[in-house]
């Protein structure tokens, strides 16, 4: 009986250590801490950090290594201000930088672009930056003639289209996690 109790205690300590190391994993903690940020400090993002973030993005997997995305990084705060003025509102939550992700016009590459974006958002999180993935402003930009100058400045090839924009900057908020619906997950054994 004593051996059985010791064995159970040993198993419990192994399970406890396993669970602790799982949650102490910095990659997992980074994923669990990342939230969409919609308030940014009035502070530019260092170009070197943007380069690291984009490098992490383009190292995302893509089907048959096609790498179908095109990325445009907007650091020109004057350009961002001009498009916001033309729109009559802040399209990007006053973020000091934007990462614009484009995919082929024929519709391919959306999944690959999503993987690229998630890598960039997690890289930004690990560097102390906040991000928000925006698609509403894309629809607005594509349909508003007054904002055509912004799209022209992105220099997107004619066979590509703007898919989404990441606003990026130093966060001025720390949003709490919203509830997640774990009932949508089913394990098939």
- CA–CA gap between residue 172 and residue 5 (Å, rounded): 52
Q: Quick one: tokens of 96?
A: 């000091």
Specify which residues 101 forms β-bridges with. Answer: 71, 164
- CA–CA gap between residue 129 and residue 127 (Å, rounded): 6
- The residue behind tokens 């993987």 is 115
> Each residue of 100-147: pLDDT tens digit?
999 999 978 999 999 999 999 999 999 999 999 999 999 999 999 999
Residue 4 has pLDDT above 50, yes or no: no
Specify which residues 167 forms β-bridges with. Answer: 98, 132
- CA-CA-CA-CA torsion sign (33, 177, 47, 66): positive
Of 75-79, 104-108, 159-163, 180-184, the poorest mean pLDDT is in 104-108
Note the pTM of the prediction, 2 decimals.
0.85
């Amino acid at each position: 009986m004593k051996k059985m109790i010791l064995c159970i205690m040993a198993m419990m300590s192994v399970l406890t250590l396993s669970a602790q190391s799982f949650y102490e994993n910095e990659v997992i903690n980074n994923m669990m801490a990342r939230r969409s940020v919609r308030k940014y400090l009035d502070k530019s993002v260092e170009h070197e950090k943007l380069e690291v973030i984009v490098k992490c993005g383009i190292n995302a997997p893509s089907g048959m290594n096609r790498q179908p995305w095109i990325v445009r990084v907007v650091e020109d705060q004057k350009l961002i201000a001009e498009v916001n003025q033309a729109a009559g509102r802040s399209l990007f939550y006053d973020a000091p930088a934007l990462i614009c992700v484009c995919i082929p016009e024929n519709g391919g590459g959306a999944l690959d672009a999503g993987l690229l974006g998630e890598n960039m958002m997690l890289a930004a999180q690990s560097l102390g930056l906040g991000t928000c993935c925006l698609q509403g402003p894309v629809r607005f930009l594509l349909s508003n003639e007054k904002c055509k100058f912004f799209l022209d400045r992105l220099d997107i090839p004619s066979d590509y289209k703007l898919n989404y924009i990441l606003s990026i900057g130093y966060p001025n908020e720390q949003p709490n996690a919203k509830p997640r619906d774990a009932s949508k997950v089913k394990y098939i054994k």
